[in-house]
Every structure is written in C-alpha cells, then in structure tokens.
Structure 1
Amino acid sequence: MRFLIKHEVQGRLRIHVIRNRMTCTEADVLCWALEKQKSVIKVKVYERTADAVIYYTGDREELIHKLKKFHFEKADVPDNVLSSSGRALNSAYREKLIAKTLLHYGGKLLLPNSVRKIWLTFKVVQYIGKGIRCLARRKIEVPVLDATAIGVSVLRGDFNTAGSVMFLLGIGELLEEWTHKKSVGDLARSMSLNIKKVWLKREEQEILVPASDILPGDRVIVHMGNVIPFDGEVSCGEGMVNQASLTGESLPVRRTEGQSVYAGTVLEEGELEIIVRAVSGATRFEKIVTMIEDSEKLKSNLESKAEHLADRLVPYTLLGTGLVWAVTRNMTKALSVLMVDFSCALKLAMPISVLSAIREAGQNGITVKGGKYLEAVAEADTIVFDKTGTLTKAKPTVKEVIVFGDYPEPEALRIAACLEEHFPHSMAKAVVDAAKRRSLYHEEMHSKVEYIVAHGISSYIEGKKTIIGSSHFVFEDEKCRIRPEYQERFDTLPEEYSHLFLAIDGELVAVICIEDPLREEAGEMVRFLKEEGVSKIVMMTGDSERTAASIAKRVGVDEYYSEVLPEDKAGFIEREKAAGRKVVMIGDGINDSPALSAADAGIAISDGAELAREIADITIAAEDLREIVVLKRLSNAMMHRIQGNYRGIVGINAMLIALGVAGIIQPTTSALLHNTSTLAISLKSMGNLLPTN
C-alpha cells in the first residue's frame, strides 16, 4: 500500500493512503487489518479523506513495514465484518443531510421565485396527503398538525414559512432515522455471535476445534446451556431450545432428529448433534437487526409516554389555534400557535435520548437490549448479586487435590477435567485449566454427560457411575459415602477454599480445592452503588454459610443468602417485586438464568454461560465490576436528560406561543425558533451523558 505520513507523535501515526478515492468497504478492510495487529491499540479510518489515525505500542518501523506490505485486494476479511459495518450507513446519511441543506439554501439563491413556488407546492401536496391519510384513519396526530401549518401558510401566500417548516421537519426526520439506525446497528453488532470454539464430532469422538474450521456438512455437538453456533438440522439427540433471540417466543421449543435449529438460539435442556447447513454470521446479524427494529423492548416507559403524549397534544394545539382566532380575529396570531407544537420535539428528542444512551453504554463495553432496561436500572432500589464468577474473580484456580481412595491425584484431576470441560462455568474452567497445566490430556472415556443445574455432573466411566459437584449433590442427593479411614482427612478440609467433590461408584475419591478470590473492586463497587441511590444490595450463593458470611462481610452487602438453588434466587426476586421494589439481578451462570429472567433488569457477565447472556437484558464486560456503577450513572443521567428535555420543550414552546399571541413575533419567526429549538434539543440529546476522562 502506498501512503504518506501526515503527522506523528510517539505512539500515534496519521497516514494518507494514496488512492483516487477510498470506499467505505476499503476503509473497513484497512481498519480490520490494522486492528488485528498486536501492536495496534486503536484505529480510526476516514474514507472521505483516505486518512487513518493509528495508535500503537512497540516498534514504529515494524508497523511501517506492515503498512507497506498491506494490499486491499489480498485481505481475507470475514463476510460478517463488512456486512455488519455501520460506516456505509453513516456516509449515506451525511450525504443526505448535506444534499438536503444545499438544495434548500441553493434553491433560495439560484432558482427563480416562480420555479421555487412550483417545487414547494409539490412538496406541500405530499405533507397534506399524509395529513389526509391520518384523518382517514380517524386520528388527529402530528401529520395533521404539520399539514395544517404548512397548508395555511401556502394559502396565505407565505411560501418562505412553508419552505422553512418543511426543511426543518425533513432534517429532523433524517436525524432521528440516522440515530435510530446507527444505535440499532451498534446494538446488533454487540449482540452478534462471538463463538470461538465448538465440539466437532469426528469418528465418534468429540473434538474441540475453532469455529472458523467448521464447514457445511460437519457434525457439531451442542451441550446444555450453550448457544447453537450454526444454522443446521438435528441429526441426533433431543433438547429444549430457547429461540427468543430470533422469534421472541418466551418458552423453549422441543427439537428432535430431522428438525431445524438456528444460530444464536440456546439449548436450555438436553444435548443435540447438528449437521451444519450454513456457517456465515451475516444472516445472524440481519436477524438481530430485524428483531431489534421490530421489538418494543427498545422503548422505555418514558419514551412511550412521550410518543403518546405527542399525539394527544395535537387536538389541543388545533383547538388553541381556533380559540386565538375566535378571540382576536387575527390569523397571524392564530398561526403563531399553529406553528408551535409540543409534539414534534417530544417525538424526536425522547427516542434519540434513549438510543444515544444505549450507544454510549456500548462504548463502555455494556450491551443493553432496550431502553426500558436502562430505565429499570435507574429506578432500581434492590440489586441482587450472584457470588461465584460475579463478586469473585471470573478465573478461580485449583490450589489442591485431596484424594480419598484408590485413584492418585493426577488421575482424579484428569477424570474431573474430562467431565467438566463439557459445561460452561468458571469452576469447571478452573479444573480444565489445572489439568492442562499439568499436561493431563485425555481422550473421551465416559458415556453421555448429564448436567444437573446448580448441583453437578453425572456420567459413567467403565460402567461405574461418576459424579462431580457440590456436597449437597454428592452426599445428600447421590448418597455417596466416605471410607472410615479418610473421615478425619475429610473433616479437616481447608476452609479457605471452595470444594468440588468427585465420587466414583458411590464412593468419594477426591476433593478439588478451588481458590475463588474476591474481586478487588467489589467493595468499592457496592459503596458507589449505595451512593447512587441503591438502598438494598443482596448476595446469593450456593456456597456454604461460612464462605457466604465471609464474602458478605468483606464486600459490605446488606443481606446474604447461602446454599440457595436457582428457584430460590428467582423466588426472592419475585417477592421483592411484589413488595413494590425495582430489582436488578447480576449473575454469570446457568443457575442464575431464572433470576435474570425474573428481575426488572437482568445483567450477565460477558464471559459467563451463554444461556445467562442470552436471557439477560444487559451484558457487562468481565474485567471490572465498576462497569455496573457506570451503568447506573448512565441510566440516572438518561432519566435526568429526558426529564430536562420535557421541561425545556414545554418552557420554550409555551414562551413562543405567548410571544406569538401577544404579537411580538411573527408566525415565520415562531416556526423558525420552534424548529430550531427542537433540533437543538435533539442534537444535544445525541451527546454523551457521562463526562469523558
């Protein structure tokens, strides 16, 4: 690639690509290629100027060398990178805005007055047609008001006022449409599938391979609690599939041999073997965009109220216009009322505020599936936390394996890892990683693995029932025993660790001690949430009373509950809601899914179970729990902005009506100031809610 260095400082390079014109696709390709480089921190590519700003670490000469070697034609970019880019959308709307502005002001300067009147009359007919169609539906809404204001201006021969009103209405519609589509696109991209590895069935063995290696016709195994990675057909097995992400169905559907399944849906129960039909991620993105655009989830309660209020105000504006004319017999003063309506600003500013908040959340690594969930977070007075993987670190580690029978320590850990690798949970990952570090590799040697939510895993090895899980599951549910000679060893298990119990053929063979350290920021996060207005913070865990009490004290929660089951968490949330409280649930595991679903807003950790992320309304990155505080502040700021918009719209428009009725300003000025203030409020609503660091 040929380029010039326009400017540079340490760690930052601005280059100009020498091309006749850079297309949006080429800009996306260049951006993707640069972001793949390990030394590159951030990239901005400007297709209009063919410039790129590169923030990097490491060797400058190496980066320059890679830029020289780059070729647009040879870049192997995944299809979904280009299909889901928002660059072309932004470029198209920028051009529409520029064209509309040039046409309006250029027409005033260059077109003869007679030609301009013919053009404006053609546009007026379009607006009046919309108003008539609205009346035909027996509704008096915003199109009727717009048609009346524009029509009366034309009848009075005031084409300048009519032209200005139509121009400002057109700009407002474009801005609203652009912001809406951009926010929907950003949200859909953040919700798109990001599955890195899948279980491929080959010669009756399950092999963990990169998802990019899968081809149509391959057979993949999907275990309970995982996202189905590709569109395909069930070739073996039976399961209950949650398709809410694509169809909106609240209840899972049964899928058996010969039936179709789709990428992005979640297997809630059972196990499926799937013949892959399509591996592209583009169709998944398109389905999500459609789902979001059609979904009422995007609308907060305040946003819906604003839209309904906007339509309800139209008859009162028309009535006010008639009353002013009846009292004053002055059409100019009556038009001053007609030119100023509250509905336009309400309908424009409120959705933009909500969608801009969702966009800003995405910039902070937070995925929000709809405005009403931000509203729920803003109003929340109770927040419930899961412990493991949420308040504690997402990467627990195995510290010790204590054996209680004939199996040596490496063999016990190998068997445990063989079972645990099939299911998504932070504790399971700790066991698998410990086995990998000790090079305890294995071939699949067990029969079908059954996962019992919030309890453990059960299978058979060489005809012997093998289970791993909680103390309750192993000793109470499965009635496993401890050899008498090992009782003292069992009674002195180290208390500072969480424990996984492995039993074979009804007898305990090992206890895996896992360190699950508390996140350093957990206590600070709880304190900040209380400062933001949350009155009750609760921790719920399946761990023992001793472990729960220790963590609760260190974090500073108001209440804690130990040894709880998934239904206990959901039941607690339902009782809180029945008491009139707004409840937010935060968790990361399959066992948290019922509670995430029951809460007013469910928040999942990004590296938790796929089922939890699918059911949750909001997803935060796993690196720092302080993102929850950012989310709360963002939600509060959104509500504050919406309420401020209400006050501003009412105040400004009421003042304009008063000035018009008093005869201080003309209808033309009134319309201009009204539309200018509407756009100003809307543009302000597009800005970030939180201060940038």
Structure 2
Amino acid sequence: MKFIIKHEIKGRIRISLARKFHTVREADVLEQYLLGLDGVTAAKVYERTADAVIYYKEDREAVLVQVAAFDGQITEKQEMAVKSSGRALNQEYKEKLIQKVLTRFATKTFLPAPVRAVYTSVQAIRYIVKGIHCLVFKRKLHVEVLDATAISVSLLRRDFNTAGSVMFLLGVGELLEEWTHKKSVGDLARSMSLNVEKVWKKVDGTEVLVPLSDVTAGDELTVHMGTVIPLDGVVVSGEAMINQASMTGESQPVRKEPGSYVYAGTALEEGEITFKVEKSAGSTRYERIVQMIEDSEKLKSSVEGKASNLADALVPWSLGGTALTYLLTRNATKALSILMVDFSCALKLAMPLAVLSAMREASQHHITVKGGKFLEAVAEAETIVFDKTGTLTKAKPVVSDVVSFNGMEKEELLRIAACLEEHFPHSMANAVVQEAKKRHLVHEEMHSRVDYIVAHGIATYVGEERVVIGSHHFVFEDEKCTLPEDGKEKFENLPENCSHLYMAIGGQLAAVICIEDPLREEAPSVIRQLKEAGFKRIVMMTGDSERTAAAIAKRVGVDDYFSEVLPEDKARFVEEEKAKGHKVIMIGDGINDSPALSAADAGIAVSEGAEIAREIADITIKKDSLDEVVLLRHLSMDLMKRVHGNYRFVISFNLGLILLGVAGIITPSMSALLHNSSTLAISLKSMTNLLPEEEREEA
C-alpha cells in the first residue's frame, strides 16, 4: 500500500493514502488491519480524506513496514468487526441532518410564500395523522396529540413560519434521538459481542482445542461448566442448566438435553453438553444482541420511566390550560402561547439521550453497561461487595512453588494439575496453566470426565486413581484425603504469604501448589476513593482462609471482610443488605461470584474473569484496573445530576414561557421557537460527555 507521512510526533503518525477518499468498508477494513498490527496501540481512519492516524509503542520502522504490506486482506475476526462497524450509521445520519438543515434553509429562502404554504401543509400531514391515531385509536392524550394540535392551529391561523419551525425542530430532535439511540445500542452490542478465540471440538471421540475460525456448520463442540456457548446449535449429548437471560430474558436457568437448541452467548451454569453447530461464526450474534438490547426493558431506568410518564401526564394540563386561557381572556394568541410550549417533548427526548450517552461514554472507558437502570443503581448504592481473588488481587496470580509430598517430580505434578485446571478458567487455575506453559510442560488428555464442584475444586480419575485438586476443605474434609506420615513437618512449614492449592492422588496428598496472588497496586487507593464517593460500607468476601483474608483486608482498607465463604454465602449477604433497604453492588470475576452478581442491584464483572461471570453481570469492565470502578461511580452520579438538572430546567423554563405568553409579552411563534430551541439545546447538552477532561485523560 502506497502512502505518505503527513505529520508525526513520537508515538503518533498521520499518513495519507494515494487516493481522494475511502468507501466506508475500505476505511473499516484498513482500521481493523492497523489495530491488529504488532506495536500499534490505537488507530483511526478518516474515509473522507483517506488519512489514517496511528499510535504506536516503540518500533516506528517495524510499524511502517507492516502498514506498507497491507493488501486489503483481513482475518475472519476482523471481518466480523467490520460487519458490525458503526461508521456507516454515523455517515448516514450526518447526511440526513445536513439534508434537513439545507432543505429548511432552501424552502425559507427560495420558495415563494404560496408554494411554501403548500409545502408546509403537506409536511404537517404526518404529524396530524400521528396525533389523530394517538387520540382516536389509542384513546390517549400523549405528546403526539399536543404536537398535532400546535401545528394544526398554526396552519389554521395561516402562521406557516411557526408551523414550519415547529416541524423542523421536531424533525431534528427525532433524528438526533434516533441517531444517538442506534449508535449507543450499536456501541453496546459491539462491546457485548463474544470474543471467543478457541473452543473444544470433538474429533474421533476426543476433545481438541481449536480456533473458533476453524469451526464449520456440522462440527460438534463440547462446553464445560462455567463457560459460554460460542455458537448456535443442537445438543447431541449431555445435560446442562443454561442461563439464557441475556438472550431470552428468562430469569431462571433452562434445562437442556439431547435435541434442545442452544444459543451463542448463553452461559452454561451446571453440567456439560456436546452440541452440533448449526451456524458458523458470523454477524448473527451481533445482530441478535442489537435486537435484544432494543427490546429489553433493561435499557429503561426509573428516571427514564418517570420522565416518560410525567411527559404524558402533562399533555392534558397543557391542552386544558390552553382552553381555560381562551375562555377567560377570549384571546386566541395568549391561548396559543400555552399550546406551543410542550413540556413532554423535552422530557421524553432529553432523559433517554442522557442515559444512552452515559452508556456510550462508559464504553469509551472499556466499561459495558447493559442497561440504564444499572447506572442508576451504581449512583445510588450504599454498599459495595468485592470478591478478593482476581478482583482486589491481580487477575493473574503466579505459581511460586510446587511442594511434592509423594516423591513425584514437581514438573510432573504441575503437568497433572494443569491438565485438570485448563478446563475451568479462574485466576488460580490460569496461574497453574500458565506456569506449565512457562516451563514448556505439554500433555495429552490423561484423565476421564472432569467434575467441577463450585468453590471447592476439581475431581477426576487418572487411570484407576482418583485425583482431586482444590481447597483445604475440599481435599481433606470433603474428600477425606490424608497427609503422608513423612510430610507433616513440610506441611506445617508451607509459606504463609501464599494461597495453597492442594492436589491428592489416590486419597493421599501429592502436592501443594503455592500461588502468589499479588494485591493490585491501585486497590487501597480505589477503596479510599470509593469511600470519598459516598459508599457507606465496603465489604470483601473470599473463599480463602481467615489468615489470608485478614491480611488483604487490612492492606486495602475495607470496612468488613468474610473468609471461607461459599457462593450462596455471598448471594445471601447481598440479599440481606437489600432487605435492609440498601442498594448493593457486587464486584467479582469467577464462577462462584455468579449468584451474588445476579442478586445485586448492579453486578460488575472485571477484567479476564470467567465467561459466565461476564455474561451474567450487568456491567463488565474490560480494562485490567479497578480505577474504572471509581470512574463508573463518578459517571453514574454525574448522570443523575444531569437528569435532575434537566428536570428542573425543563419545568422552570417552559413554565416561564407559558407565563410570558399568557401575559402577552411574547407571541406564540416566539414561544414555539424558544421552546423547541431549548429542547434541542438540552438534548444536545445531554449527548455530551459527563466526565471532566482531566478525568477522561487519566482513564
């Protein structure tokens, strides 16, 4: 690909291609290619100028060589991103907005008055029909009736300028609302779309880990407990309980057995299934998420519902006020001044735009919010509950040592542990698997069916011997495993600064895997900032021992902590706090956090947690930092301030217009102009970012 460098500073290059412009698809393809290059941290392509801005880390020459090698080809994963790009949508609505403004200018400037009157009357038909339909067929006095009445009265008074202005501003408002809604939904859907790279494929009766791009219709895939179903298909063997809330809205898990249909993106909570793929990877998942979001009541927060209800409730008062003013004053101009001021227009438009724009802004900070009501919950919550492992501590703990108790080599014990743990991705399991990779320990599947006991451990058979790996409670109390006689002293001297993963073979302890779970550097600061942001109680809950929990709790500065808890204990605590009248946020990353995430007013899944946690959670944070939790709190609180500020402005400003109109100080056309201009202004304001510039830059 030929290009020239137009401008550059360290870490940033702006290039221009040897053409006048890009099509939307060409721009998207190039942008996805640039984003996938080694060393590139961000990229933006401008289709109208055929320019591209590239942000890179260090090796400038290597980046330029890769850019020059572009031949128009991209990966299947990048192609899926291109298909769901929002670039075409933005271009479409920019053109619609420009066309509407130019049409309004041209009709006012160049059309003769008689022609303009006919044009305005024809344009009014749509609004009048909507008003009649709402009044006659729906039997409701909603905003459509008020708009139709205002436009009709203006036409009857031969005030075509006022009628045209009202329709123009209503049209611009509709366009902006539709554009922002579709863009916000699209941004949200893209961030919710699956990012599955590898799956377990059944090949000659054996599970083989393969790239998702290698799967075609008719292949059989196996899905284990705690993971997300990657594609649509029909179950051929096994039974499972599937959480389909994100797809169908069902609150309870659904039982799936041979012959049942399963959907991509739904989470397997219990059991294990093998299913035949019906559709290979494509854009259908994205499109279904878009539909789900648009249909879902989750998008509606109570403030949006309140705005909509209040808007409709004010319509009869506006019509009644108009009639009463005319009866008392016999002055049509004063009466019409009330009719031209529509509270409901601003209320219905500005509130949803504010919420959707806040969701869009959150997505810019790697935060996916699945509905407006969850932002409201974050703003109003008093209690916040943190899981420890992978949340307050780093998402990638590391293995510091493997202590052998049965005479086997450390590498062999680690190989067995990794073979089991790779089926159930959690932070400690990932540490074992990564350490095995680091030591170049490869393995064949040496075990039978693997059973995962939530919050306890894993059990299977290797040959004739039962192998278990998990917590002290699971291995020694539930499984009744014993400690070798010659290993007591070694056992008592295990390092206290580590978490311990116990593995027993044939009923006897074989190894203790010592795992360092470093505290996130930002955790103490985040806890302090959350207290400053208004949280009255910050709690840490963990399945770890009392000793480990106490040490972490002291270092981070939480108000309370609970150790050795089970998943149901976390969910029970959340329910108890809610029963006391407190709004509760739960933050976690693992399979065992799922019940509490579902129970909380807002469940937040962080970073590289278990897929089921991310699927069930109401909010997901993709950036590997807890600082985003503080940012989310500030964003949510700022949203509520904006919403309440909008209420005060709409009511006071429009009430002022009514009083001025009734007093005869301003004309109906001026009332309409000021009202619609204020509606447009508050809507545009509601679409702007909430966080101050410095906070956005820090993020």
Number of the residue aligned with 1:458: 459
Residues 465-544 of structure 1: pairs in structure 2 closer than 5 A: 465-544=466-545
Q: Does 1:207 align with 2:215?
A: no
Q: Does 1:361 align with 2:362?
A: yes
Q: Equivalents in 2 of 1:685, 1:444: separation in Å? A: 56
CA displacement at 1:31 relative to structure 2:
0.8
Q: Does 1:106 align with 2:100?
A: no
Seen in structure 2, the aligned counterparts of structure 1 residues 13 and 414 have a Cα distance that, compared at 3 Å, is closer
Q: Equivalents in 1 of 2:9, 2:563: separation in Å? A: 55
CA displacement at 1:249 relative to structure 2:
1.4
Number of the residue aligned with 2:585: 584
Number of the residue aligned with 1:50: 50
- Which range moves more in the overlay, 49-58 or 496-505? 49-58
Per-residue CA deviation, residues 577-628 of structure 1 (Å, 9 max, x unaligned), is 0000000000000000000000000000131001111110000125111110
Report SS of the residue matched to 1:195: coil
Tell me, yes or no, if the aligned pair for 1:134 and 1:140 is still in contact at 8 Å: yes
Tell me, yes or no, if the aligned pair for 1:365 and 1:620 is still in contact at 8 Å: yes
Number of the residue aligned with 2:618: 617
Tell me, yes or no, if the aligned pair for 1:79 and 1:282 is still in contact at 8 Å: no
Number of the residue aligned with 2:135: 135
Q: Equivalents in 1 of 2:65, 2:540: separation in Å? A: 53
Tell me, yes or no, if the aligned pair for 2:415 and 2:443 is still in contact at 8 Å: yes
Report SS of the residue matched to 1:184: helix
Seen in structure 2, the aligned counterparts of structure 1 residues 151 and 284 have a Cα distance that, compared at 3 Å, is same
Report SS of the residue matched to 2:519: coil
Q: Equivalents in 2 of 1:578, 1:71: separation in Å? A: 60
Q: Equivalents in 2 of 1:687, 1:283: separation in Å? A: 31
Gaps of 5+ in 1: none
Number of the residue aligned with 1:673: 674
Tell me, yes or no, if the aligned pair for 2:540 and 2:561 is still in contact at 8 Å: yes
Q: Equivalents in 2 of 1:498, 1:163: separation in Å? A: 71
CA displacement at 1:455 relative to structure 2:
0.4
Q: Equivalents in 2 of 1:9, 1:396: separation in Å? A: 37
Q: Does 1:89 align with 2:56?
A: no
Q: Equivalents in 1 of 2:14, 2:244: separation in Å? A: 45
Q: Does 1:423 align with 2:403?
A: no
Q: Does 1:265 align with 2:246?
A: no
CA displacement at 1:148 relative to structure 2:
0.6
Report SS of the residue matched to 2:336: helix
Tell me, yes or no, if the aligned pair for 1:124 and 1:150 is still in contact at 8 Å: yes
Report SS of the residue matched to 2:490: helix
CA displacement at 1:118 relative to structure 2:
1.3
Q: Equivalents in 2 of 1:617, 1:682: separation in Å? A: 26
CA displacement at 1:487 relative to structure 2:
2.1
Number of the residue aligned with 1:381: 382
Q: Equivalents in 2 of 1:54, 1:295: separation in Å? A: 37
Q: Equivalents in 1 of 2:666, 2:223: separation in Å? A: 69
Q: Equivalents in 2 of 1:558, 1:59: separation in Å? A: 46
Report SS of the residue matched to 2:278: strand
Q: Equivalents in 1 of 2:175, 2:671: separation in Å? A: 22
Please tell me the residue identity of whatever aligns with 1:551: I
Q: Equivalents in 2 of 1:665, 1:355: separation in Å? A: 35
Q: Equivalents in 2 of 1:57, 1:471: separation in Å? A: 45
Q: Equivalents in 1 of 2:406, 2:530: separation in Å? A: 48
Number of the residue aligned with 1:172: 173
Per-residue CA deviation, residues 48-75 of structure 1 (Å, 9 max, x unaligned), is 2322222234454544444444333x44
Per-residue CA deviation, residues 209-258 of structure 1 (Å, 9 max, x unaligned), is 22222233332221101011112222222211112221111122222223
- Which range moves more in the overlay, 143-152 or 54-63? 54-63
Report SS of the residue matched to 2:272: strand
Please tell me the residue identity of whatever aligns with 2:33: A
Per-residue CA deviation, residues 473-509 of structure 1 (Å, 9 max, x unaligned), is 1111111111233222222222111111111121111
Tell me, yes or no, if the aligned pair for 2:607 and 2:624 is still in contact at 8 Å: no
Per-residue CA deviation, residues 296-328 of structure 1 (Å, 9 max, x unaligned), is 101111111001100000000111111211222
Report SS of the residue matched to 2:259: coil
Tell me, yes or no, if the aligned pair for 2:212 and 2:281 is still in contact at 8 Å: no
Residues 605-684 of structure 1: pairs in structure 2 closer than 5 A: 605-684=606-685
Number of the residue aligned with 1:305: 306
Please tell me the residue identity of whatever aligns with 1:155: L
Please tell me the residue identity of whatever aligns with 1:103: T
Q: Equivalents in 2 of 1:52, 1:411: separation in Å? A: 51
Tell me, yes or no, if the aligned pair for 1:394 and 1:622 is still in contact at 8 Å: no
Report SS of the residue matched to 2:495: coil
Q: Equivalents in 1 of 2:516, 2:610: separation in Å? A: 20
Count of residues paired in the alignment? 692
Q: Equivalents in 2 of 1:8, 1:410: separation in Å? A: 50
Q: Equivalents in 2 of 1:401, 1:61: separation in Å? A: 43
Per-residue CA deviation, residues 534-583 of structure 1 (Å, 9 max, x unaligned), is 01000001111111111111111100011100000000111100000000
Report SS of the residue matched to 1:193: coil
Seen in structure 2, the aligned counterparts of structure 1 residues 622 and 514 have a Cα distance that, compared at 3 Å, is farther
Q: Equivalents in 2 of 1:37, 1:280: separation in Å? A: 23
CA displacement at 1:446 relative to structure 2:
0.7
Please tell me the residue identity of whatever aligns with 1:159: F
Report SS of the residue matched to 1:580: coil
CA displacement at 1:20 relative to structure 2:
5.2
Per-residue CA deviation, residues 349-406 of structure 1 (Å, 9 max, x unaligned), is 0001000100010000101000100000000100000001101111111111112224
Please tell me the residue identity of whatever aligns with 2:321: G
Tell me, yes or no, if the aligned pair for 1:193 and 1:281 is still in contact at 8 Å: no
Q: Equivalents in 2 of 1:406, 1:283: separation in Å? A: 53
Residues 345-356 of structure 1: pairs in structure 2 closer than 5 A: 345-356=346-357
Please tell me the residue identity of whatever aligns with 2:465: K
Number of the residue aligned with 1:236: 237
Q: Does 1:434 align with 2:435?
A: yes
Q: Equivalents in 2 of 1:240, 1:255: separation in Å? A: 6
- Which range moves more in the overlay, 366-375 or 650-659? 650-659
Tell me, yes or no, if the aligned pair for 1:79 and 1:280 is still in contact at 8 Å: no
Please tell me the residue identity of whatever aligns with 2:392: L
User: After TM superposition, which residue ranges in structure 1, 4 or more long, deviate above 6 angstroms?
Assistant: none
Report SS of the residue matched to 1:278: coil
Number of the residue aligned with 2:125: 125
Number of the residue aligned with 1:689: 690
CA displacement at 1:512 relative to structure 2:
1.0
Number of the residue aligned with 1:216: 217
Q: Equivalents in 2 of 1:71, 1:542: separation in Å? A: 52
Please tell me the residue identity of whatever aligns with 1:141: H
Q: Equivalents in 2 of 1:619, 1:344: separation in Å? A: 33
